[in-house]
Structure 1
């Protein structure tokens, strides 16, 4: 479903297929402690070579779409459609930005709009879902602004530094999506 890896151009960001040239940005992304907390990413210790291998293989994978978020010619994060369920025409969405230099500039909002618009225009997907931790108010606000609706809560879904946090389940459905002009 995601065999074609597009380049999507907005006013603030360009989304393009990730590749080995994005390695430095990916290293910054996975080493960012606040980003790890916001996304609930416990995995650490990725080697540069493992990360290079990961990004070098994304173009050949047809059941997911991995796009670099680029602003002013600089990698500022990634947006991914994954966990494709072709039987139910749904997938998961995740986004990660590289910390304070990328926050509060509208990059995430535009990247999400471009990605969701592309998915609904170029595939038969009906539902794009995600989970966001209840302490990540900034992300929840952006997801709602883009058109995602809160569906429910997964209680105590994340254990972080000895404390439990809920995950809020959100989605946007094709019939509810307002296409970009």
Structure 2
């Protein structure tokens, strides 16, 4: 059985991004993402959050086991543009869940999500040593599905009517990647 300690996650760097452990210093960027209706829709996040809730959540992340949360920071200007997470660690099956959320604004369409995904997937397989990573993406977000496919994730199935959004039922596309799968 693989024994892994996720906290604190290491800083990961790419050509344009610095992924640093998500914490209290990222309240503003996290708050911005949770106030944006498009970010909330793409992640299927219902409800309203109060700033003290966000502050409390971020303050407690460092003590949370079985997950690693990173803030996505643009190296060009230091702006916090989203978060990326490995979660739901299953030691018996050497697997992790994956999720990413970019703050919906002009950040879409520049490849930041793909770049952050590649960095975290590489860390999960090459450093942590897990065998499998899985995720769900809502059917109304084909841009994200394409980004995941570019990183090596494959469609494995569909959860019908997994999300109710504005009175409509939305499917979730289940995707996964194995350590033995090719990566771009």
Q: Give TM class, smaller chain.
A: over 0.9
CA contact (8 A) 1:76 1:98 kept: yes
Structure 2 SS opposite 1:6: coil
The correspondence for 2:84, drawn from 79, 92, 97, is 79
1:122 and 2:134 aligned:
no
Give the TM-score normalised by structure 2.
0.93
Whole-angstrom distance in 2 between the partners of 1:38 and 1:144? 17
Aligned position for 1:66:
69
Whole-angstrom distance in 1 between the partners of 2:47 and 2:99? 16
Give the TM-score normalised by structure 1.
0.94
Whole-angstrom distance in 1 between the partners of 2:109 and 2:18? 17
Whole-angstrom distance in 1 between the partners of 2:141 and 2:174? 13
Q: How far is the alpha carbon of 1:178 from its aligned partner?
A: 3.3
**Structure 2 stretches of 5 or more lacking a match?**
none
Structure 2 SS opposite 1:175: coil
Aligned position for 1:132:
137
Q: What pairs up with 1:91-170 in 2 under 5 angstroms?
A: 91-170=96-175
Q: Hey, which bits of structure 1, 4+ residues long, moved more than 2 A? A: none
Aligned position for 2:14:
10
1:90 and 2:109 aligned:
no
Structure 2 SS opposite 1:87: coil
Aligned position for 2:31:
27
Whole-angstrom distance in 1 between the partners of 2:8 and 2:132? 19
Pairwise CA RMSD of aligned residues? 1.2
